[in-house]
Structure 1
């Protein structure tokens, strides 16, 4: 299975790292919610060393809830005592030295052990009470952060139409096919690499309420965005490394 994933690289813009991957995760019921935003609004939030990436002169911000399961380290059995957990990340689209990727504003999770792992990996993580349930044909995600930093997401979504592979050059491909991520902590920039097969997605109908980010105005909560649904994906993850700014 892993070699089949590693051999599937035609959809990537950059080659795989030469060093081996260290972790596998399965992602299920992913919802990609994307909204265009003026570049100058986002640029002030980026750390030194990253350049905002745009599509037709527009920047984008995305909110992505999904389920994580079947976690294992390379050549090791599945992690005990974890099972599955939920995650929501808020991200924008960036470049560094010609490489395209994403920059995380926040990562919410409902598994304390994974929160600790995410913090070690420099991700801006928050612990949240979260659920993902099916109701009357919809998938419903409810999340509320615990602690001093407030943040909620209430989303109800329904996949529509047929599954498709986003075409190279399209906005959907530009938004979804991203294999590098950057984080920033204590004055240092860190880069991670992931790999998986090309996304297969459907469009999605979404109704949501959120306070995870102020960059998504309340008057645009249920209009002016794109949404896509993916059933499942197996992802290989490389060690996050510090980069010189």
Structure 2
């Protein structure tokens, strides 16, 4: 069995960031999936990462702001947009990370740049993130509908499924507690919460399908201040659009108000 170092990726890399982003109102929804089934959907150089024998599929909608390269300021109307990703957890050569099956963003320029520069399987979607506090409690509402037109791009999130989307409502009060958090809401190493949310490395390859070469990238931010959340409604077809079958409500739900993020460039992996 490969020994994974789950703490080193949380430390800031000793190089300069290539960009900056702020992530807000992140909902972390997770379902268990068979590790054997998941392994058939990954590049051969990546191994399924498990916690207590289970693999997990994550659905993470959130809002981004202040998106910019290191050499340029944020631009109003361009540097802020919503995003939703479908992801799982993998490792390579002892390094744990994230594999994205799909990423949806409500910004066509961001989709184009992310496909070309970051080799990620982005789609354009119409999206909404709304905070509501009324007599029903403190809630967050997310909606997304993919607008992809024409033929799907080979190698990008299976068939792509134009029209795939998400309608989600979560409640932040009255939610079941999460056992793996300290008093500040940070995930404790060795817990399921740390396994699911404290991920700083991504693996990717050319989403056009022209090359199978793997790359890794990294982000850095303070540990997520996480709190429990409860799903009031969830109608999702983004996970299915990625070719993954899940059943029932998510088995693990968490929420984070936000973090400031440094982005570090992709590096090719040997092999």
Q: Does the 8 A contact of 2:26 with 2:61 survive in 1? A: yes
Q: Does 1:190 align with 2:215?
A: yes
Matches within 5 A, 1:1-245: 12-14=7-9, 15-120=11-116, 121-135=118-132, 136=134, 137-148=138-149, 149-150=161-162, 151-160=164-173, 164-185=185-206, 186-206=211-231, 207-214=233-240, 215-217=244-246, 219-220=247-248, 222=249, 224-245=250-271
1:84 and 1:157 map into 2 onto residues whose CA distance is: 22
2:21 and 2:237 map into 1 onto residues whose CA distance is: 27
Deviations 1:172-221 (A, max 9, x none): 0111111100112231212111000011110111121111122242x31x
Q: Does the 8 A contact of 1:159 with 1:228 survive in 2? A: no
2:95 and 2:79 map into 1 onto residues whose CA distance is: 34
2:31 and 2:213 map into 1 onto residues whose CA distance is: 28
Taking structure 2 as the reference length, the TM-score comes to 0.80
> Unaligned regions of 5+ residues in structure 1, if any?
1-10
Question: In the TM superposition, what is the alpha-carbon distance from 1:165 to its structure 2 partner?
Answer: 1.2
Q: Please give the secondary structure, in 1, of the residue aligned with 2:120.
A: coil
Deviations 1:37-85 (A, max 9, x none): 1101110010021111000111001000000001222253223541410
How many residue pairs get matched? 232
